[in-house]
Amino acid sequence: MDYNDEQMILNNKNTRDVEMAREYCDEHESYYREDTCEPRWCENGDLDIYLVKIHDSVKAKKEFVKKRNKKMKHKPKQYQRR
């Protein structure tokens, strides 16, 4: 993913912005084994925050992610850990 230093506001009305927010969260989740990440949007559609939740265990995270992905019909990208 390519991020540049310019200030940009993501909006959920733009499909690419939604994809970029989800990719960021997928990447975060691949680096931090017990975290889940969800983009939160304001009423006007702008990105408000990335909500990160730390689960008690990797197993608890996997159960949460399985339910979330099924509900949202999302297939996360696989990232290589460095």
pLDDT tens across 35-80, in order? 999 999 999 999 999 999 999 998 998 898 888 888 877 776 666 6
Asked whether the predicted pLDDT for residue 25 surpasses 60, the reply is yes
What pLDDT sits at residue 79? 66
Average predicted confidence (pLDDT) for the chain: 85
Provide the pLDDT confidence category of residue 5 given band limits of 50, 70 and 90: low
Report DSSP letters for 22-47, one per residue: HHHHHHHHHHSTTEEEEEEE-TTSBE
Determine if the pTM surpasses 0.75: no
